[in-house]
């Protein structure tokens, strides 16, 4: 027997708060499933990533296809709830997060095929995005088919389905985070070079100055932490702060090593000059590497921008 094709369309009516710590988001969606009328047939749709159902309403309508003269039944499912989403913001603040609704069919998948409705495009409401002060919402919705996994289908009790995705950019103001976080931390990493102005015999002052910079960097990191998304893993922004602290600690160790040659002032000055040049090379290549990695993660941003443009 041929599979009954069920055409699915998803509209994001409201997208509420995005909780990166709990990995959930609130939303109100309208799911429309359309199929040819058959006796005693009704797909039992389920949302597999629904964490908490707050309110729902289901109703059915019938219409006749003008070309095939078939009777089509459309199920309208309006749902408000909390949805689970795997938050992946490792490249923050230049990262894009999927906001998805996963739809499947309860029971056995035999005879049912969920596909995207090509006659009615899935959409979202840009004006009803409540978290727009922290995130930028792209204006398109994509429908993707879930890959088949026979073992998981049997265990979970539902079939392979489809996923409706909209996307948000993690930072509403990239320049703000670059100016308040990266640029100031970059200035702190450069300040140790000013300590080389002191003669090597004054290494005590150098070490005290470096320790002060370490404390200043740690304090500043804790201060800006509250303005960043709360997530439970290390992002590229966190990695930059951590490596900067490692660099400052290394400078402090270098000054301590140079102080061992205070009796031989000429040798201490030679080692001092070599360390000064080596640290410049480390800082330059370290920042060039991070910048290259950071801006290489813009492919997904360009793709989403292109999708928005083609949907106009």
Arithmetic mean of pLDDT, 32-42: 85
Q: With pLDDT > 90 as the criterion, what percentage of the chain qualifies? A: 16
What is the per-residue pLDDT for 234? 64
Please give the Cα distance from 311 to 246 (Å, whole number): 46
Helix intervals (H) in 225-264 = 236-258
pLDDT tens-digit profile of 83-141?
998 877 666 666 677 888 999 887 655 578 888 888 888 888 888 888 777 777 888 88
| Residues in the chain, overall count | 312
Is 50 exceeded by the pLDDT of residue 77? yes
pLDDT of 169 higher than 70: no
Q: Where is average pLDDT lowest: 26-30, 79-83, 109-113, 200-204?
A: 109-113
Beta bridge pairs of residue 2: none
pLDDT at 301 > cutoff 70: no
Average pLDDT over residues 12-18: 89
Burial class (CB in 10 A: 0-12, 13-18, 19+), 125: middle
> pTM of whole model > 0.75?
no
Query: For residue 11, what pLDDT is reported?
Result: 92
- Of the chain, the percentage scoring pLDDT greater than 70 comes to 79
């Amino acid at each position: 027997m041929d599979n009954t094709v069920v055409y699915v369309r998803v509209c994001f009516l409201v997208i509420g708060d995005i909780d990166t710590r709990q990995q959930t988001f609130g939303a109100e969606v309208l799911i429309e499933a359309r199929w040819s009328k058959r006796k005693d047939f009704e797909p039992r749709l389920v949302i597999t990533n629904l964490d908490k159902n707050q309110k729902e309403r289901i109703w059915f309508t019938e219409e006749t296809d003008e070309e095939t003269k078939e009777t089509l039944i459309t199920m309208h499912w309006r749902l408000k709830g909390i949805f689970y989403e795997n938050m992946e913001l490792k490249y923050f603040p230049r990262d894009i997060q999927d906001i998805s609704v996963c739809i499947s069919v309860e029971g056995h998948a035999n005879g049912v095929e969920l596909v995207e409705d090509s006659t009615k495009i899935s959409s979202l409401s840009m004006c009803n995005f409540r978290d727009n002060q922290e995130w930028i919402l792209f204006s398109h919705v994509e429908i993707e088919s879930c890959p088949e996994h026979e073992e998981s289908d049997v265990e979970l009790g539902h079939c392979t389905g489809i996923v409706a995705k909209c996307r948000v950019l993690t930072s509403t103001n990239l320049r703000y985070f670059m100016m308040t976080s990266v640029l100031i931390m970059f200035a702190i990493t450069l300040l140790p070079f000013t300590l080389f102005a002191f003669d090597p015999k004054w290494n005590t002052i150098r070490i005290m100055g470096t320790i002060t910079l370490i404390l200043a960097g740690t304090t500043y990191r804790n201060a800006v932490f509250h303005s960043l998304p709360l997530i439970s893993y290390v992002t590229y922004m966190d990695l930059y702060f951590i490596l900067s602290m490692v660099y400052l600690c290394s400078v402090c160790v270098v000054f301590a090593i140079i102080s061992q040659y205070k009796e031989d002032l000429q040798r201490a000055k030679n080692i001092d000059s070599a360390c000064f040049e080596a640290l410049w090379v480390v800082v330059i290549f370290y920042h060039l590497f991070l910048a290259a990695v950071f801006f290489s993660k813009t492919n997904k941003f360009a793709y989403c921008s292109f999708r928005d443009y083609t949907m106009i």
